[in-house]
Amino acid sequence: MERQLFPDLLRYREILGAVAVTSDDAVIDSTGLSSEDTHLLASLAGSVLAVADRTAHHLGMAGTDAVSMTAGDGMLHPRQRDGVTLIVVTERCPVDPVATLSETVIESIVNERGNTS
């Protein structure tokens, strides 16, 4: 990782960490997480979104590019776009602000990758 793509993400008190990965689970960047947690979340994010997407299609709905899950006292917010998956780990909090922030972050990552490819 050459430079952090989201160095200020942890300034929001609800956000505990985040990881961005490619479609083959290679880590692009992470913040606030141990190496072990980063790799665990990297493999989890794509799987969760794939299952959500298959389920949505099975039910006749459009594809899924984002979900939010409650896990104990915290939440996981995976989001996917253009071959990049971002998963944000938060305390329990309203989903909408995290979704808006996540969309901004993933857009920045996708744009950054497009400019360096």
7 has a pLDDT exceeding 70: no
pLDDT in tens, 32-52: 999 999 989 888 877 888 888
Residue 77, number of CB atoms within 10 A of its CB = 22
Q: Are 91 and 75 in contact (CB under 8 A)?
A: yes
Q: Please state whether beta strands 69-71 and 27-31 pair in parallel, antiparallel, or not at all (unpaired).
A: unpaired
List of domains in the chain: 12-116 (3.30.450.30)
Convert the pLDDT of each residue in 71-82 to its tens digit: 889 999 999 888
